[in-house]
Structure 1
Amino acid sequence: MSATSAAHPMAGAGRAPAGPGADHRPTPEDAAAIGVDLWDVTAHLEASGFSDRAARAAGHASTAGWAQQLLGERDPVPRGRTRRGRRSARSHLLWAALGRAVVMLAGVVICVSTMPRESVEVVVFVIAAAGWLTAQVVSAALWHGLGRGPRGDAVRGAMITCGIMVLLGIATWIALREPTVMIWVLWACSAPLLVTLRPGPLLVALVGIAGAVSALAWTFGAYWQVLVLAVGATALASVAAASAAGEAIRTARSRIVPGTVGAVTVALIQTLAHLGLLLVIFLRIGPGAFAAVAIAGLVAGVLADPLFAVARIFGRWVSSHLTRWFPGRTLAGAIGTPLLLALCAAAVWVAFRVLDDPYRVYLDEPLAITAATATAALVATINALLRTGAATGAMVFTVLACTAGGLALTYRLPAEEPWQSGNFILVTAVLVASAAIIVTHRLSRPQAW
């Protein structure tokens, strides 16, 4: 993420431009030469002492107007073509996020449809946890490498991580005597590589069709048919991912990007903390009600990518239309709270739908709804921190939030009466409020755009 933030138009805002010599006072032309867009040039002008008053003295309406003229002289691009380019980039960004969401959701459907219906609930939890953990660490290795080194070296680090997770998946298979875990692990290894190295409509269509057919077969009880389909789809996805990774690695040096081990370790700690809280919730409310929490968390994870893409598009729009630093950042970050509330509302709606069973009574329904809300808030905060280059911050926040939530769920009163929901509701309220502050703050940073 550091490479991304360094290349962003507003990454240098607030720093005075270095002149040709140590005793040379920067000129407006110097600011235009090193600035990359209207906001950046305006910030450099103001940092060099060219305020609105100086701009008016030079015959311009404001510092931003001066910056606009300097940019036009340096890079005279037709305004219409610039707007068309921006619209095209925004459209591509949103469609790419929607495509990743479809691949993610369809992959989960394929995996879930292969789960034996007679399996013990704890075994189901372990299998799903293995898949989720694999996806997180492989993604961490890949994206860390892409942000800090050559593409091939980044893929090499991700493939080494995939190999380790496959070996752990085989060990889990032997321990549980359940081969389904390998479908989850292989999909979790393949999906991040495919959406990065082989993105596009063809991938979305193929994975989406496989997911839809798996869902239909599972609905009508065709277990063996869906198992054969899932195994075939998993094999094809794994081969395609390995082929794409091989092409990237052949063009790289025989090394991995420095810091990959640390990035994977941070992702591992973060995911284990999250899984620890989910396990406590699972044990506290039982497998029936936990299904609502798990599905709500899945929906929040799927929706987070396109919603944060919308936030990024909005931030770019703000940066291209406003010329003042503080109002612009404030407006760009204002979308954070509505985004968080949308994710929480979606998670709560899904949880209510899952629990709306006329043939079953869930005594811990309020707790399940609260847990769904907390999960959505946690997903939103992690996404906001990771997208703005704060992987360690995401890990620390997750560990603290999950530790507090786990303690609240396991606490008992001195009278040894069953705890109901007060402590966890309080922790969830604090979590949502903290999430709103963090998401809003991170979306106001240029790295988010």
Structure 2
Amino acid sequence: MTPEKDTTRHPADPGRRALLGGALSATGGALAGFVGGRATAAEDGAGSAGAAGDAGPRARLDLDELVEPGRRRLLDLPGDAASPEAGASELGRTVVDARGRTQAGVLTSPPAHAAWVAFDLATGDRETLRRVMRIWTDSIDRLTAGRGTLTDTEPELAQLPASLTVTVGWGLGAYLAAGLDDHAPTWLAPLPPMDFDEMNPDYTDGELVLQVCADDLLTVRHAMRQLVEDARDLTLLRWQMSGYRHSAGVSRPGAPMRNLFGQVDGTGNPQAEELADLVHREDGSAAMVVRRVRFLMGTWEAAPQEIREQSIGRTLRTGAPLTGEKESDPLDLGAKGEDGKPVIHQNAHVRLARDGNPRHRFLRRPYNYDDGAGDVGQVFVAFCQDVDEQFVPILERIGSSDLLNEWLVHEGSAVFHVLPGVPVDDSGAYLGSHLLEA
């Protein structure tokens, strides 16, 4: 069961305020990807198409249009644009509009680079939260459109947005600080502790979170720096992580990535037509779970391939289930080998990660990380409507019996409420204004 929500207000000490309700947990389900391949919006007659099968901007299937139609566009650079912006590719000029019913960066196909930073409010009051949201909304509008922020001393670094998205979420502490306890979703609480937890407080909790993603690392770093500086006097930095996936054009459009275990990572995510019933709530908001999962590469690489594949229930080379030949082949959980034992082990990850309940599903949007000195793994990000209903049942199924847990260390986790988007036609609205101005 999910612990009851702790409504006790604590001082603004970063070591205490954000620790609401005890330890957080991470799950062995760290191996998943996203429904769609990235594709850049194309202009009629602009540029040249690649060869058949090429994953360039004009050849990629724009699956984003199926779930967020009209959100992507191409930035027109001035004729006297300086080098290296002059003649920039469609990849660099792609804009993902920040405003809409939902925030970008949830259903948006994941670009190559991402960063996350969590904060606590420096002072626990509604006005501080209001000021942060107003500033961030303006800066996000500017950065995603290829412009510097109001205080940007290097606006040149913002000129190529490269599909930049910034997603903002509130933790339970933000609701408490603003006196909005009654408006906090019931699932906005720490996940139930699990036997495999080895939580590091340096990677847990937070009252606010920013997710910044783009196809260019320079764009991500610049945007993140500007947003952190925006709130320097109003917030306390809690934790920060960064990650990467395949770069645009490297793999087939719509293909899942490979994680650092070499596994095909993303099979079985919801299809585009299923997302409306699984991810966003009626008001355009969503639940967001962020976890840091360290990979034990030494012991993984020492294990025989057969053991590694049995722990997952899929082949490493193709991602096909052990009962099939292609990645897309359905699992046959009843299949048995000549020895009478299940072909897919009873504790294989793929068997435990599903229970047949159509509501026990969520959108997975993970990234690899490599912090050097052998510290590698995955920043696992999941989006859904209700953490308790959709996510926790799978967390509990995986538990301590998932064979894959032998090579995973679950060391960070946090739960956030991704706010509804800012309406396109309301110049006075900002992120969270529907609550903060009520």
| TM-score interval, smaller chain | under 0.3
Q: Which has the higher helix share?
A: 1
Q: Which has the higher strand share?
A: 2
**What TM-score, normalized by structure 2, do the two folds share?**
0.27
**What TM-score, normalized by structure 1, do the two folds share?**
0.26
